[in-house]
A and B are shown apart, each in its own frame.
Chain A
Amino acid sequence: MSYEPPITDYDEIVENCTCAFCGCNCDDLDYLVKDGHVVAVRHACRLGASKIMEDLDQRLVVPMIRGDDGELEEVDWDTALDKAAEYIANSVRPVFYGWSETSTECMKEGLDLGQYIGAVLDNQATICHGPSLQAVQNAGYPIQTLGEVKNRADMIVYSGSNAMNSHPRHMARYSVFPRGYFRQRGRFDRTVVTMDPKFSDTAKMSDKWIGFEQNGDYGFYNAIRAVIKGKKLTQEVISGIPREDIYELVDEMKHAEFGVLFFGLGLTHTLSKQRNIDIAIKMVMDLNKESKWGLTPMRGHFNVNGFNIFMAFETGFAFGVDFCRGYARYMLGETNTIDLLVRKEPDVFLVIAADPGAHFPNGANQHLAHIPVIQIDIHWGPSTELADVVLPGSFIGVECAGTSYRMDGVPIYMKKAIDKPETCRDDEWIVREIKERVMKLREEPNVAPKYIPNPAAE
């Protein structure tokens, strides 16, 4: 890595800002601002810093509409918003996807619009921690805050998560290295275990690596549960791990004073999906009879958890919430964005603060190419190439304030540090404007009206 000299040419330092990258939501960042731009970020990891420092080359700054020639043309805000509202007001199966990189305040406007028009509201959990949310709905949520982890945990287990790469400050700020109230020696007071088929960067700096075979998670956790219950294992090797090693691991877990299991997509997206998380939760419940244990999903985007908490609070369902019949409902395989797109059901797709063009499977993106796509975002990306209406938003936590939820469910207020470009608007304002224009076009909520059970009996 080449040496980068420190930035010394700046006008002011904005202190205690919150990072708008991953679910760690590090709220100790200092932004170095010059001429209304963030030129450097202190305390952030490279991922967070590179996102926060503006990349004006790719910044969306003016509203655009795709013309008849297939090219995006710059238009004024009224024209773009009217076009977006027209698409939504005339839709039969609209899907509003994203929300994980915008504020909770904006989600409120989106929910109002979704309820009014009978849309499906979904976020990135549908392609990441959706199985975790399904398991939590079944088995409960033995969670703790990251502050508790820092101050109390003496055993940290990462399962299917490479925190060193995906959440670079997680270990430094919350779990492994910090000195806590009861863990004064920091790293030396903690045992770190990584469960992952790959010998990842996180595994390299762990005390123990459990390299079970790919898709062997469920069998492995089942064996752990059996050993916790005092049973003897009959197979010599379970999911690629010798049984003696499982005995040793369980003994360590049972004797931990405070253990925490952090799990990532390596657990949620292997063969057994939500049942991997289900059995991990059950394992934590079993361990709580011997010691004190908790678990936390390693959430990816800085407010992906916020959308799930907000929607669960407002509707009872964490993601993939379908309002088309006038009430909230959710069903995996039916109301999730990928399933809907692969079934080619949506006729309008609003994407806010997300990039399905980059992250969705080919089959889903193929359908997006055939329907009107409305994009609210700050950067040009693959989704912009699919979009028919582009509405430039603002950067939460940098250009405008808002609330987000950390991976452990702690709400954090993200303050504004600089002004947004003059031609951009806040996400919240954009969604509210679309909502009001849709309401003008459709004077009554557009949901399938209540059914008369038996017209013949009337």
Chain B
Amino acid sequence: MKTITFDVKKRNQIALEFDEIIPDTIYTWEAEDFDKYAVPVGNSRFPLTDFFDITVEGTADSPADVKMVFNGDCGRVKYIGNKMSAGEIIVNGDADLHAGAEMSGGKMTVMGNVEAHAGREMSGGELEIYGNTKEFTGASYIGEWRGMTGGKITVHGNVGKQCGECLTGGHIHVLGDCDILAGIHMTKGVIEIDGNVNRWPGGQMKNGNIIIHGKLGRLLEGFVEEDIVTDPQIDGEIYKGRYISFKGDIALNGKGHLYLDAEKNRDKLSAWKETDDEYISLGENRKYR
């Protein structure tokens, strides 16, 4: 096992791009290789050692034998773990954009917050974030209809908009709250949200499963109530509790499933009319001319 430790010396305002420093490329590197390496910063390259104290311990025969440890604030280090296929990365602090994006194997753990695009289009491996993250977690890149296709993302904090956009496989587990349009355009895979959800999960989803243990702000019209289910089994895993099961998004003949905690989301049951009054009064004020 080779352990490479990056102790932050200086936080640069212009982001460092770490797409070239992943276990797959550096498993043979020794300390002097890092001394020679210049990291992309904007339109230039600067010596990596300007920004980090680097120590290398042990040896590695393959990327899987590499453990990279970042100590300090990496809030301006982009692409950490981008396209990694094996090994382990631990960030003891924050990470910038694209953390764990397009990774296909290995494990990445971030103890702090992560900027947007975490785990985008990842196809394998495990990404665990102990803080919050922003938009497009496990999503697809613009122009692509297939987002995350495999692996697992666990976020202990909150996530931003469009988490699991175009999800085509894998598992996203959010322990905090989630912003709008989680699982938009998803076709496969599972999104599990322990906290509350702002509105419209599963917009234009074709298939896959979204489980919400918290309260949902607003449901899309494209979801049709199916049943109240207890301890549903989804992709071989049992989710304890009572859920209202919805099918959608029928606006594009989707066959996805949305499970809402039955107790916290009683207002979403067709038999529950209490909150409808609010919507009707809104509608009356907004009639056509």
A residues adjacent to B (C-beta < 8 A): 91-94, 117-119, 134, 137-138, 199, 203-204, 208-213, 218-219, 222-223, 225-226, 229, 231, 233-238, 240-242, 245, 271-273, 275, 278-279, 282, 323-325, 330-334, 343-345, 347, 446-449, 451, 453-457
Contact = CB atoms under 8 A, between A and B. Distances in A.
B14 A93 contact: yes
A235 B288 contact: no
B43 A218 contact: no
A226 B36 contact: no
Contacts of B143: 137-138
B259 interface: no
Given A225-B222, A272-B200, A275-B184, A209 B14 contact: no
Kindly name the residue among B15, B180, B289 whose own CB sees the greatest number of chain A CB atoms within 10 A.
B289
B191 to A, nearest CB: 16
Contacts of B44: 92, 118, 446, 448
Given A213-B286, A343-B15, A451-B20, A235 B221 contact: yes
B276 A236 contact: yes
A118 B222 CA distance: 46
B230 interface: no
A235 B279 contact: yes
B121 to A, nearest CB: 12
A134 B136 CA distance: 14
A223 B13 CA distance: 45
A231 B250 contact: yes
Contact of A219 (B134, B200, B204, B283): B200
B30 interface: yes
B37 interface: yes
Contacts, number: 175
Interface string B220-254: 11101100000000000000000000000111110
A138 B142 contact: yes
Interface of B: 13-15, 17, 20, 25, 28-30, 33, 36-37, 40-45, 78, 97-98, 115-117, 134-136, 141-145, 161-162, 180-181, 184, 199-200, 203-204, 218, 220-222, 224-225, 249-253, 270, 276, 279-280, 282-283, 285-289
B204 A234 contact: no
Given A345-B14, A446-B44, A457 B270 contact: no
Given A222-B220, A275-B203, A333-B135, A234 B181 contact: no
Per DSSP, are chain A's interface residues mostly helix, strand or loop, or mixed? loop
Nearest to B198: A271
A240 B221 contact: no
7 contacts: A222-B222, A229-B253, A236-B283, A240-B282, A241-B286, A332-B142, A454-B29
B268 to A, nearest CB: 10
Contacts of A117: 43
B203 A279 contact: yes
Given A138-B143, A138-B145, A236 B282 contact: no
Contact of A234 (B199, B270, B288): B270
A218 B162 CA distance: 13
A218 B180 CA distance: 11
B283 A242 contact: yes
Contacts of A199: 289
A211 B145 CA distance: 32
B282 A272 contact: no
Contacts of B115: 333
A135 to B, nearest CB: 9
B181 A456 contact: no
Given A119-B43, A456-B29, 4 more contacts: A231-B251, A240-B282, A245-B288, A278-B204
Kindly name the residue among B43, B220, B276, B283 whose own CB sees the greatest number of chain A CB atoms within 10 A.
B43
A219 B181 CA distance: 11
A1 to B, nearest CB: 25
Given A93-B42, A229-B251, A454-B28, A222 B181 contact: no
A454 B28 CA distance: 8
Given A94-B43, A222-B203, A275-B184, A240 B286 contact: yes
A336 B18 CA distance: 20
Contacts of A233: 221
A447 B221 contact: no
Q: Which 9 A-B pairs have the closest CB atoms?
A: A118-B43, A93-B42, A225-B251, A92-B42, A237-B283, A211-B286, A223-B221, A448-B40, A226-B251
A282 B204 CA distance: 10
Kindly name the residue among B13, B17, B145 whose own CB sees the greatest number of chain A CB atoms within 10 A.
B13
A208 B286 CA distance: 12
B33 A219 contact: no
Contacts of A331: 97, 117, 141-142
A70 B203 CA distance: 52
Contact of A92 (B14, B33, B249): B14
Nearest to B120: A331
Contacts of A448: 17, 40-45
A199 B285 CA distance: 12
Contacts of A272: 180-181, 200, 203
A229 B279 CA distance: 24
Nearest to A334: B97
Contact of A212 (B116, B180, B225, B286): B286
